[in-house]
Amino acid sequence: MLFKKNHNSGEATSPTKNIYRRAAIALTVGLWAAGTATSAMAETREFMVKWFVEAANAYPDNSDCPLGLNKSPEEMFRAQLAAIGMPKDEAEYLVVNINGGSSPPDVREALTYRGRVDGRPMQAYTYPTSVPDLKLWNVNKGPYAFGFNLDGKTDANDFTDPDTNEKGVDNSYWAIAGCQTNQRGSRTELPTFGARHWDFARDKSPAWLVRLVADDFTKDGEVTVYIFRAMERAARDATGSLRRYWTFRRDPDPRWQNSFKGKIKDGVMTAVGERFEMLGDPFGISNFKLRTPSFRGYFNPDGSLEAVLGGFVPWKTLFFVGGSGAYNFETMTGTNVPAFYYALRNGADAAPDPKTGQNTEISGAWRIEGIQAFIAESAQSALTTPNAAEKARSSK
């Protein structure tokens, strides 16, 4: 039974039966300007994405990281500076004078240009391989992680999903992120890394929206999942909390029209799609693309949505957050950027480059929390049905 009490994740998970608040809405063909074929009397539920963060499953006792959590930023800096031959006293001066964005100019410059090529200083963020790969990044070895068996295989490095007990779960991004202190979290405690980015970005970027359609959400049957981009940002109330039941217009851009076909079984929705693409904010998630996306979700007792979205993502998209953030990102988040680069490159598990053999994608899973909202169709939406979107993509 999905989302039951499971000692492997160390948490009491949410029930999935008898928790729905019926919201039957008569849909007409005109409402479905998105071009979806649905029955004239279908039930729909709509949400704004409150959180979209890595699906963390850290163990409270840290036993999922047998080599320990990642070393502190200071320890990683010391090791990298020693590897390029910097005298210990000079390196120590740099490390003890790190002060985030307020670091002295000589400290900022020396650490930014700690890469070396033929003895010449190189910018460590644009050219991360100019910094030696010292294997500083520890890998998460816990047997349980949220996600999906994306390749249909069960390999030695795969996980088991703690909710479904599915074997062969592909989530190499969690293997990489799972021993980094600021990326550890659980279903009830968001990882600092992802939550910080998402919370900042949603005040300046359009919201993400989810629309679910089924004949009856209280019964087993078919379901269609849509994920759109809004034309408006999320709204907050006087306490800073996000407003429920806010109305958003769907962005008609054909690139952000994502749909998944699936089923409802015992109150749990599962669906798969051919592609997923959304535009976020460069501070966190920029142009986010997933290959072979899979969705699993259910409703909480208050009617909100909890779901997991998994797939293969170009790993350089994930690195871009740190590489573009450069020195400020590195010293203010505690993520050593060159070490992060090597970890992603070494952990990539899909889509090998035909010339080099290096994998260009990494499997991962992200948690979606959605609060109730309304989705209105913009005036242009009738011109951008999914069929038109497919034609636009195929013409590129």
Dist. CA 191–CA 176, nearest whole Å = 14
Dist. CA 293–CA 271, nearest whole Å = 9
What is the per-residue pLDDT for 173? 97
pLDDT digits (tens, 9 = 90+) for 215-229: 999 999 999 999 999
Q: The pTM is what?
A: 0.85
What is the DSSP secondary structure assignment for residue 356, as one 8-state letter? T
In single-letter form, the type of residue at position 74 comes to: E
Instruction: Read off the tokens for 378.
Output: 């913009």
Q: Provide the percentage of residues in the chain whose pLDDT is more than 70.
A: 84
Q: Residue 30 above 90 pLDDT?
A: no
Between residues 36 and 67, the one the model is more confident about: 67
Closest by Cα among 226, 206, 217, 248 to 373: 248
What is the per-residue pLDDT for 81? 98
Helix (H, G, I), strand (E, B) or coil at 50: strand
Confidence of residue 100 (pLDDT cuts 50, 70, 90): confident
Average pLDDT in the chain = 87
Q: Name residue 277's beta-bridge partners.
A: 289
Residues for the chain: how many in total? Answer: 396
What is the per-residue pLDDT for 388? 53
**What Cα–Cα distance (Å) separates residue 131 from each residue in 76, 79, 94, 114?**
11, 11, 16, 7
In single-letter form, the type of residue at position 371 comes to: I
pLDDT digits (tens, 9 = 90+) for 255-294: 999 999 999 999 999 999 999 999 987 776 678 999 999 9
Helix then strand then coil, in percent of the chain rounded to 5, is 25, 30, 45
pLDDT digits (tens, 9 = 90+) for 288-302: 999 999 999 999 999
Instruction: Read off the tokens for 227.
Output: 């994920």
Q: Name residue 225's beta-bridge partners.
A: 212, 260
Q: Are 218 and 207 in contact (CB under 8 A)?
A: no
What is the per-residue pLDDT for 163? 96
pLDDT digits (tens, 9 = 90+) for 355-379: 999 999 999 999 999 999 999 987 7
